[in-house]
Amino acid sequence: MPVFLQISIVTFISGVVGTGLGGLIGSVAKKDSSRVVSLFLSFAGGVMLSVVCFDLIADAITPSGETSLSYLFLTIAGLMIGYVTVYELNRLIDRNTNVDLKHIDESHPETADDLNELIHSDHYSHHRETGDRRGMFIAGVIMACAIALHNLPEGMVIGVSYSGAETVMDRAGLVMAIVIGLHNIPEGMAVSVPLISGGMPRLRAVLVTALSGAPTIIGALIGYGLGELGPTALCLALSFAAGAMIYVVFGELIPESILMWRSKTPAFAILIGMIVGLIVIYV
């Protein structure tokens, strides 16, 4: 079986199955489980932060085994492009989803200050309350797209990690797929719980959550293809994925965890996640 097909299967398990499993757990979890989800999200953010700082960026600077100023500047450029790309995509979705919500007024903060706003399930709830079934469907698609934005760069991370590999059992790529799959579980929980609380049927909420992980496969194939083009392309692909993941961690995962549990405990979970990430990378 060709390597890219093997990568597609592994990424499907990591992205779709991982996110869907989180959605399934969220569908049967108690409503007061937000603290548990918060800790899982914080832990996942810590793991991803270690992967980005101590693996992706380090490999981006030395794609050919040697350090040079040209690769350093390419890495910086890739980080900025990756971060800004995901930020702008999220901003575009935010701007086009919140215009018709009643609670959005002049005094409301421009950024999300509630978990439901952050993953756009407030948009779904608004249309449900007004009986607008078409709006409910559109809101569900928008919410899934917003979550999918997280999964595209995550897929690139997996794909780039498999660059040069002849089998999916390659250690670097397999470890990355496992880490991202584990990280998708609490994220899927954070998506399905507000949706179900907003009135979406449990099965539909789980399916929407699982489908939001599908772009992970596309990202993996893109990342693998770019990584095979040579050291310069590998440097840019790694740094772009790292920049995108930095936004996901600091712009999405950590804010979600803090919104779900306004405590200093999630910060400790982030530290534990970073330590686990270091062990996964270097042991």
SS3 annotation, the chain: CCHHHHHHHHHHHHHHHHHHHHHHHHHHCCCCCHHHHHHHHHHHHHHHHHHHHHHHHHHHHCCCCCCCHHHHHHHHHHHHHHHHHHHHHHHHHHHHHCCCCCCCCCCCCCCCCCHHHHCCHHHHHHHHHCCCHHHHHHHHHHHHHHHHHHHHHHHHHHHHHCCCCCCCCCHHHHHHHHHHHHHHHHHHHHHHHHHHHCCCCHHHHHHHHHHCCCHHHHHHHHHHHHHCCCHHHHHHHHHHHHHHHHHHHHHHHHHHHHHHCCCCHHHHHHHHHHHHHHHHHHC
The parent domain of residue 62 ranges over: 3-282
242 in Cβ contact with 60 (< 8 Å): yes
Encoded amino acid at 207, one letter = L
Q: How far is CA 125 from CA 27, 98, 266, in A?
A: 17, 12, 28
pLDDT at 31: 59
Tokens of 283: 């042991």
Count of domains forming the chain: 1
Looking at the whole model, is its pTM more than 0.95? no
The confidence score (pLDDT) of residue 146 equals 78
* Cβ-based neighbour number of residue 82 at 10 Å: 25
Q: Which two tokens stand for residue 8?
A: 């597609």
Position 115 scores a pLDDT of 75
- What pLDDT is recorded for position 178? 85
φ/ψ region of 105 (left if φ > 0, alpha if ψ in -120 to 50, else beta) reads beta
Q: Say which amino acid occupies 138.
A: I
Q: pLDDT tens string for the chain (283 positions)?
A: 788 888 999 999 999 999 999 889 888 876 556 788 888 889 988 988 998 998 889 889 988 777 788 999 999 999 999 999 989 888 887 777 776 677 666 777 767 777 778 777 787 788 877 777 777 777 777 777 777 887 888 898 889 888 877 777 877 788 888 888 888 888 888 788 777 877 788 898 899 889 889 999 999 999 889 888 888 988 998 899 899 889 989 988 898 888 888 888 999 999 999 998 888 788 7
Nearest by Cα to 149 from 82, 56, 80: 82
Q: What is the pLDDT of residue 130?
A: 79
Burial class (CB in 10 A: 0-12, 13-18, 19+), 65: exposed
For 36, the token pair is 């548990």
Closest by alpha carbon to 18, among 135, 271, 165, 188? Answer: 188
Residue 76's pLDDT is 96
